[in-house]
Amino acid sequence: MNFKPIRFIITGLIASGLLCACNKDSDDSESEQVLADVGASSTIVSSFSLKYNIKLLVGLDSVFFSIDQVNGRIFNADSLPVGTDVRKLQVNIGAPSSASAVEIIMPSLYDGRDTVINYLKNPSDSINFSQGGVMLRINSSNGEHERVYSVNVNVHKIKADSLQWQTSSRALPSTLSPRANAEKSVKFGDKFYCLTRNSAGQAQMAVSASPLTNQWDINATQLPADAMIESLSATADALFIIGGDKLYKSTDGLNWTDTDTSGWTWIYGAYGDEILGAQGSNWVLYPSGTSGVIPAAMPVKATSVLWSYTDEWFIDPQAIFAGGITADGSYSGDAWGFDGTGWGRLSSRGSLPAAEGITLFPYFTFRSGNNKFYIITKHSCWIALGGKMANGTVNTKVYTSLDNGVTWREASTALQLPSEISPRYGTSVILTDKTFTSGSRAIAPITEWDAPYIILSGGYTARGVLYNEQWTGVINRLTFKPLQ
């Protein structure tokens, strides 16, 4: 009984030996592959980061670096702020402990002699990434395998959160002669309409599906008598304008019909599928006829465009405008809101400069959290600019509100207009998307994204002379490919 287990073991060993003999060739091949895989894996970088340096940049050590093992690339997808000095950076490299060599290679632009740093011996040496071309080379423990990565520390070439405007303007889409002296632009449906008129009373309507390309279809339009160009507005169904004291409508901007309503003195803008305006001291919605008394402190003309928006705190859509002139001739810098049944003053913690013809539009601003550049929060906001004040001068500052007109503050330098854009009032504003495309090898790549562009159209000097120009702007960060 005691010998049976030994007999079984010997038999098993013999069988095992036979199997080994039969599969010797295949096992050798598999063993070689295993060794090769082990050797190759000992050259893979698992992490890469920059070392802490508060003198250079707060949060430098928190910058995330992507590692593309397939193509041998290490890079930060979210670039460092413009102007960051990357000539002397220390790095942390997550290399295998079995690696026989970890070397950083910096190319020379002058004598062709590369600088090679032995990271295993000198992990605190500084690396110059400003010239590009930095390589990371790792050798396996047996020296038979080598992997090389390109390493890039990306830095923004432009200020990411600046409102960037084209370096030059373009003329208004008008061929009138004499040149136009009045202008108003609006969006109607999926197209943009630019109405111009000259001192001879001639008028043109320019229409474009893509105003960023500056391609417009221009035609003469026969406006109603005494048409108020600045009153041009649009709902989803029609364009509207005041002629004399009557309200006219059009579905193409060329042919106008009387709505058989009179007493109109101003159009604030569209609210839902209706036009909201003023008839003397009353506000009115067309075509429903809903009306009410305008508060004494509320402007009755020369306001900004009315914008509608939805909010989780309200059941009905809200609308907002800023600035204007009241019934007693006073200039206002307040923002006012409408909820479908009445008006209320929104500004309670800081107003805009009291002015007529303020340009107001919804947009975005970006803020970094806790002074850390890499924690960026995108905020919806209202931007207000321009406007002619009671003393005859034009406001030169840009203001923002993050709480729907309750609080207004002077915008950061990044959002202020450049000196090339002269101060103006009564400027039309068009918001339109520009689609960007980019190739990607990601599993679910982002190949297209939209950036909201601002087009400032026309506007007037302090003396009431029309600027024959359009300016296009966008916050730089909105044009960058989204991270994924």
Strand partners, 455: 430, 472
414 CB neighbour count, 10 Å cutoff? 16
CA-nearest of 180, 228, 220 to 200 is: 180
Report the CATH number of the 163-479 domain.
2.120.10
Burial class (CB in 10 A: 0-12, 13-18, 19+), 92: middle
For residue 10, the surrounding DSSP H or E stretch is helix 4-22
Residue with tokens 């810098």: 333
The angle at the Cα of 309, spanning 303 to 313, to the nearest 5 degrees, equals: 120
C-alpha distances (whole Å) from 162 to each of 52, 359, 363, 417, 420 are 27, 19, 13, 10, 16
CATH of domain 47-152: 2.60.40
Q: pLDDT tens digits, the chain, 484 residues: what are they?
A: 343 333 333 333 333 443 334 444 444 454 444 444 555 678 999 999 999 998 888 889 989 999 999 999 999 888 888 888 999 999 999 999 999 999 999 988 776 788 999 999 999 999 999 988 999 999 998 888 999 999 999 987 766 566 778 866 899 999 999 999 999 999 999 999 999 999 999 999 999 999 989 999 999 999 999 999 999 999 999 999 999 999 999 999 999 999 999 999 999 999 999 999 999 999 999 999 999 999 999 999 999 999 998 766 667 789 999 999 999 999 999 999 999 999 999 998 778 999 999 999 998 775 554 554 444 456 688 999 999 999 999 999 999 999 999 999 999 888 899 999 999 999 999 998 765 444 444 444 444 445 788 899 999 999 999 999 999 988 766 554 444 4
Nearest Cα residue to 151 out of 82, 86, 98, 101: 86
Residue 166 CB partners (closer than 8 Å, separation 6+): 471, 472, 473
Structure tokens at 252: 């193409």
268-295 burial, b if ≥16 CB within 10 A, otherwise e?
bbbbeebbbbbbeeebbbbeeeeeeebb
**Cα–Cα distances in angstroms (integers) from residue 57 to residues 65, 74, 374, in the given order:** 16, 20, 11
What pLDDT does 367 receive? 53
**Of 267, 39, 280, nearest in space to 142 by CA:** 39
Q: Which residue has the tokens 């970890």?
A: 102
Q: Do domains 47-152 and 163-479 have the same CATH topology?
A: no
**Domain ranges across the chain:** 47-152, 163-479
